Amino acid sequence: MALTLKQLRYFMAAAETGQISHAAMELNISQSAITTAVQGLESQLGVRLFDRSAQGVVPTIEGARFLNHARNILAAVEDAERLPLGQDRQVSGRLRLGTTYTVAGYFMSRHYARFRRAHPDIQLEMMEMPRLAVEEGLATGSLDMAVMLVSNLANSAGLEQEILMRSRRRLWLPTEHPLLSQERITLCDVADQPYVMLTVDEAKDTASRYWAKTGFAPSVCFTTSSVEAVRSMVANGVGVTILSDMVYRPWSLEGQRIEIRALADTIPSMDVGLAWRKSQGLTATAAVFRAFMSVAMGGGG
């Protein structure tokens, strides 16, 4: 089996941060995804890439050598991103990109910075706005493209979409919470607990839809538009919540631990993706951005 760009990126993030958990936070993915990628590389290469301890991970001699190769490969990919899809000329012009709050805060920053470095001749104008405003901007042509929660997209008839990442929703709990001792946790179990409800980016509406299918309802003790407030409330034992891995961090601002557990019920993922107007098609700059994001997310292997 051939090595993949995702494996290389995950390995390099673990090597550079020295912690599987830190690498997962940096890439907005689960720790198990990092671990699986590294184990897959070790199996394919037939060597141990990391020395592991309670303090983190340190590259072995073979791991350090492979890290140099990984850096060279990913640097070559970044160079290739400057001419996506075999373009033989540098595209220039303006790209008006809409984005929503959660995507701007937890997903787009590193891609925004890398795209600007890779394509200095494209003037990237990124604007954060509510989903309805993003969809209206795409429909009227005031936006060329959007990076948004396409799982919330309403105008599916008029807008094209392409999923970049599916972020799993899981239960957040404080340390030593009684539910942590259960092998199987359901929404019925969660319904008995005080619940901290996030509202930003229609999180409350999404939660209401999947809760309604079960016949249960969360016992909401606090409602907020702030992810950090949710994090602090959960860590301090005020309540539990269900949110996506993309916004999960294992520590609150006060330095208190937050645990996560999968739920037995079927919970929809939070999907980040691209959207653009069907009737308009892609502008040249939007096509470049689409190709860039495909490579950045490991598209094509």
* Residue partners of 266: CB distance under 8 A and separation at least 6: 210
Residue 88 has pLDDT above 50, yes or no: no
- Residues 55-82: what's their mean pLDDT? 79
Q: Read off the tokens for 161.
A: 């979409």
Query: 79: pLDDT confidence band, cut at 50, 70 and 90?
Result: low
* Structural domains of the chain, ranges and CATH numbers in brackets: 5-81 (1.10.10.10), 90-166+271-296 (3.40.190.10), 169-268 (3.40.190.10)
- The proportion of the chain whose per-residue pLDDT surpasses 90, expressed as a percent, equals 59
Query: What's the chain's average pLDDT?
Result: 89
Longest distance between any two alpha carbons in the chain, whole Å: 60
Least confident range from 74-83, 155-164, 168-177: namely: 74-83
CA dist., res. 183 & res. 262, Å (int): 10
- The predicted-structure confidence for 145-171, as pLDDT tens digits, reads as follows 999 999 999 998 999 999 998 888 999
Name which of 71-80, 159-168, 244-253 the model is least confident about.
71-80
Strand partners, 223: 197
CB of 254 within 8 A of CB of 229? no
User: Which residue has better confidence, 132 or 23?
Assistant: 132
Which residue did the predictor score with more confidence, 222 or 6?
222
**Residue 298: its pLDDT value, please?**
63
Give just the sign of the alpha carbon dihedral 52, 55, 56, 59. negative
Higher pLDDT, 219 or 52: 219
Q: Is the dihedral of CA 240, 241, 245, 249 positive or negative?
A: negative
188 compared with 77, residue with greater pLDDT? 188
Instruction: Work out the pLDDT band at 83, boundaries 50, 70, 90.
Output: low
Q: Please check whether residue 46 is in contact with residue 40, taking contact to mean a CB–CB distance below 8 angstroms.
A: no
Statement: residue 102 has pLDDT above 90: yes
The structure's pTM equals 0.75
Separation of alpha carbons 42 and 48, rounded Å: 6
Helix pair angle (61-81, 108-118), 10° resolution? 60
Where helices occur in 141-265 by DSSP H, the ranges are 187-191, 203-212, 227-235
Cα–Cα distance for residue pair 84/78, rounded to 1 Å: 10
User: Is the distance from CB of 198 to CB of 231 less than 8 angstroms?
Assistant: no
Is-contact 44 1, C-beta < 8 A?
yes
- Between 168 and 186, the more confident residue is 186
Kindly state the tokens that stand for 190.
């969660």
Residue 202 has pLDDT above 90, yes or no: yes
